[in-house]
């Protein structure tokens, strides 16, 4: 009997070649259809994004003019500015304010740029903070906080001209505007220390100096009246370092001849100023009772004070 062989041969793995061909064709068909579906999905997503972008573009195009028109309408409905309500904790006046805030006659309330007004005022060194608000229908309210002056400083300009500057309780240095000259003369001068960068700026740790001056002015006004110079030569103002001192030169007139006597006072920055000033008050009383004027008082010691009298005496008793 005649034998017939299958025309499809086996491959190396024992699989029939027709079977392989069938699988390849199936895989090719699946891969192609999958690609088509991905393309269709991408086109749909792209179309949706395009439509959304187009919609928002049309929306902004239509709404923006209407918003601008509405703003112009609101501005046209407000009244021209009739008054400025000005409040400050310092000495600056309405006349000074009008020289800085110059509004055109007829400027409507909604047209005034309050951010520009605020920036102009806060650019003045004496001004610490400004709040500007619209008060409908026709007023601006300006509330200002000025720096609190505690000391004076003489600076030398590049042209060698010496000018007076004011130092605030936070260490700001600025030109004083509209201060009473008599009040300024009551402020002690600052002899600045040399900053580690080779300059006296920035003035660090001034809040401690301000606290010392404030307590003395409140508790011992007669003592404070004689304080002429504050020296920061031995004070860096950094992190309350132990051993740092604030030195004050107090001037006193002695006897009928009114001879000027300078007393050197040394305060510790790490000891309660109230305790040191109370101790100084007691020492002043003893000095008067023995009729011997003080040359120096070191109050920076922990439990005592080192005194030196003009006579050479170094003890209270």
pTM, to two decimals: 0.71
Widest pairwise Cα distance in the chain = 159
| pLDDT at position 15 | 44
CA atoms within 13 A on the CB side of 287: 21
User: Other CB atoms closer than 10 Å to residue 292's CB: what's the count?
Assistant: 16
| pLDDT at position 8 | 41
User: Other CB atoms closer than 10 Å to residue 276's CB: what's the count?
Assistant: 22
User: Other CB atoms closer than 10 Å to residue 191's CB: what's the count?
Assistant: 16
Mean pLDDT for each 10-residue chunk of the chain (317 residues)?
42 41 46 72 78 75 54 62 95 95 91 96 97 94 97 83 92 95 95 67 86 96 96 83 90 70 94 96 93 94 91 88
Specify the residue for token string 């650019």. 123
Distance CA 59, CA 49 (A): 15
| pLDDT at position 100 | 94
Residue pair 204/171 in contact by the 8 Å Cβ criterion: yes
Distance CA 229, CA 190 (A): 6
| pLDDT at position 29 | 47
Is 83-146 in CATH node 1.10.340.30?
no
Taken in order 43, 45, 49, 52, is the CA torsion positive or negative? Answer: positive
Mention the CATH class of domain 149-309: alpha beta
Q: Which of 44, 127, 132 is nearest to 92 (CA)?
A: 127
Region for residue 205 given its phi and psi (left: phi exceeds 0; alpha: psi -120 to 50; beta: otherwise): left
Cα–Cα separations (whole angstroms), residue 217 to 11, 185, 253, 258: 109, 14, 19, 24
In the chain, domain spans: 83-146, 149-309
């Amino acid at each position: 009997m005649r034998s017939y062989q299958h025309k499809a041969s086996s491959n190396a793995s024992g699989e029939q070649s027709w079977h392989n061909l069938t699988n390849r064709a199936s895989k090719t068909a699946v891969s192609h259809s999958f690609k088509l579906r991905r393309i269709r999905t991408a086109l749909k997503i792209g179309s949706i994004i395009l439509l959304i972008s187009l919609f928002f573009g049309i929306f902004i195009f239509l709404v923006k003019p209407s918003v601008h028109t509405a703003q112009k309408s609101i501005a046209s409905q407000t009244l021209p500015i009739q008054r400025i309500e000005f409040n400050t904790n310092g000495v600056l006046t309405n006349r000074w304010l009008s020289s800085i805030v110059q509004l055109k006659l007829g400027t409507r309330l909604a047209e005034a740029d309050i951010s520009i007004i605020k920036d102009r005022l806060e650019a003045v060194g004496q001004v610490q903070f400004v709040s500007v608000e619209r008060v409908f229908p026709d007023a601006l309210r300006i509330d200002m906080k000025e720096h609190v002056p505690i000391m004076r400083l003489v600076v030398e300009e590049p042209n060698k001209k010496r000018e007076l500057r004011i130092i605030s309780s936070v260490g700001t240095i600025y030109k004083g505007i509209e201060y009473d000259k008599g009040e300024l003369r009551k402020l002690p001068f600052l002899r600045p220390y040399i900053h580690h960068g080779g300059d006296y700026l920035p003035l660090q740790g001034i809040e401690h100096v301000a606290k010392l001056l404030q307590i003395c002015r409140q508790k011992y006004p007669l003592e404070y009246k004689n304080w002429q110079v504050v020296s920061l030569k031995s004070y860096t103002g950094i992190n309350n370092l132990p051993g740092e001192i604030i030195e004050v030169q107090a001037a006193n007139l002695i006897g009928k001849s009114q001879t000027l006597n300078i007393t050197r006072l040394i305060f510790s920055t790490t000891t309660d100023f109230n305790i040191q000033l109370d101790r100084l008050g007691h020492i002043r009383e003893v000095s008067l009772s023995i009729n011997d004027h003080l040359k120096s008082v070191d109050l920076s010691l922990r439990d005592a004070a080192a005194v030196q009298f003009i006579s050479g005496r170094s003890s209270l008793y």
